[in-house]
Amino acid sequence: MKALILFGIAVALAVDAMAVTIGLACYLNGLKKSQTVRLALHFGIYQFGMPVIGWFIGENLLKLVSDYDHWVAFGLLLVIGLRMIRESFKEEEERFKAQDPTRGWPLVVLALATSQDALATGLSLSVLGINIWLASTVIGLTAFSLTVVASRLGPLLGKVFGRRAEIAGGLILILIGFKILFDHLR
């Protein structure tokens, strides 16, 4: 039973990373293998590390940070999503002069924003009596795997929906930001 719960948690946590990857794949008209690997590694590592951090920092420190972490995640996803939508209206050659969102700070921001729920999950895993290292490994590997799958789905959706898929990708990031915000404000 614990294995099924753990896998369900891992898939639920990986959904945000998967949605972001689909959005980026649409925005970039497909992802190169190197971009897929960077995304999968970052999402997998952050999804692995955040529950471990959550496990160790305890509820008191989380309460201090939880007052504003959702605002930061919302703001960052909003900015990136709006930028993606704005870029979708530019001409092809002008669009791809822009910074690659699978490199540098944009990648770190996306990995952090999509792994915040994993931080809080780490706090709750001790209640379930699940080994944090096993749980974090399953969560990280699931995020890695679903990111790879999403990187292959994105171009298909982009071909079917064209420029609208790029706009949808930006909207997905913005909606994830709103979801994080509303989840924390409830």
- Measured between alpha carbons, how far is 102 from 107 in angstroms, rounded to an integer? 5
Across the range 153-168, mean pLDDT stands at 70
Measuring CA to CA, which residue among 22, 171, 20 is closest to residue 82?
171
Lowest-confidence range among 42-51, 65-74, 112-121, 129-138? 65-74
Give the type of residue at 118: A
- Higher-pLDDT residue of 60, 33: 33
Pull the structure tokens for residue 1: 């039973």
> What per-residue confidence (pLDDT) applies to 140?
96
> What per-residue confidence (pLDDT) applies to 184?
75
User: Residue 67 is part of which domain span?
Assistant: 2-185
> What per-residue confidence (pLDDT) applies to 58?
62
> What per-residue confidence (pLDDT) applies to 59?
53
Q: Round the average pLDDT of the chain to a whole number and report it.
A: 79
Q: Is the pLDDT of residue 96 over 50?
A: no
Percent of the chain with pLDDT over 90: 22
Look at the chain and report how many structural domains it folds into. Answer: 1
> What per-residue confidence (pLDDT) applies to 17?
86
Q: Is the pLDDT of residue 30 over 50?
A: yes
Across the range 156-169, mean pLDDT stands at 68
Crossing angle of helices 116-128 and 104-114, rounded to 10°: 40
- Higher-pLDDT residue of 165, 140: 140
DSSP category for residue 78: H
> What per-residue confidence (pLDDT) applies to 158?
66
> What per-residue confidence (pLDDT) applies to 35?
93
